[in-house]
Amino acid sequence: MSNNRLIVIGGSAGSLHVMFDLLSGLRPGFPDAVLIVLHRNTQSDTGLEELMSAKTGLPCKEVEEKEPVLPGIIYLCPPDYHVLIEKQHTFSLDYSERVNFSRPSIDVTFKSAALAYGESLTAVLLSGANADGAGGLEFVKQQGGLTVVQDPSTAEVSFMPEYAIARGKIDLVLRAEDMPAVIFGPRPV
């Protein structure tokens, strides 16, 4: 098991360009793992890993069953599967019913990551059009993780961050351009 952090970034409608902007500052040697949970079409974004890797210089790959979570890699949830993180810091893929009309569900991943990583988890919720992620953020907070939500005024689709903020239990609400220093920098005390 690693002592490194896991940073899980969830988003839906309007979040892809923000994710690219966030990740563009990462460079080889980054000490933590990043997991992207994106509501996406199975047919339309086959080159997403290559684009993310080109933006950062870090390897980016889709999650595979029982694969260990390793630092310095950007992992992407495959379309149409929930991604869970096991206590041993390995991935598990699940094809159970949709949660908040979504598979992968941000809530499902946030909750399993919170159980596996506790205080070493940073959970970030970006732009989107449904309630996915809000319940997961509450659970992350209960487990001692850091919760960050995109300022709705900077979100292309503000419903998802607004809903999470209304439910409470959020550590930080940040404009998209202010997020990298916080989520990829030293953990706030």
Number of folded domains that form the chain: 1
Known catalytic residue at 12: yes
Known catalytic residue at 89: no
In a domain, 75, yes or no: yes
Read off the pLDDT of residues 65-112 as tens digits, 9 standing for 90 and up. Answer: 999 999 999 999 998 889 999 999 999 998 888 877 778 899 999 999
Known catalytic residue at 39: yes
Q: Pairing state of beta strands 60-62 and 33-38?
A: unpaired
Per-residue pLDDT at 100:
77
Any idea what the CATH number is for the domain that residue 179 is in? 3.40.50.180
Torsion of CA 87, 180, 148, 106, to 10 degrees: -50
In a domain, 113, yes or no: yes
Read off the pLDDT of residues 41-62 as tens digits, 9 standing for 90 and up. Answer: 665 556 777 777 777 778 899 9
In a domain, 133, yes or no: yes
Could you give the CA distance from residue 133 to residue 113 in angstroms, rounded to a whole number?
12
Residue of 12, 15, 120, 158 with catalytic role: 12
Residue of 15, 32, 39, 89 with catalytic role: 39
In a domain, 141, yes or no: yes
In a domain, 188, yes or no: no
Q: State which residues form the domain around 126.
A: 6-183
Residue of 32, 112, 120, 132 with catalytic role: 132
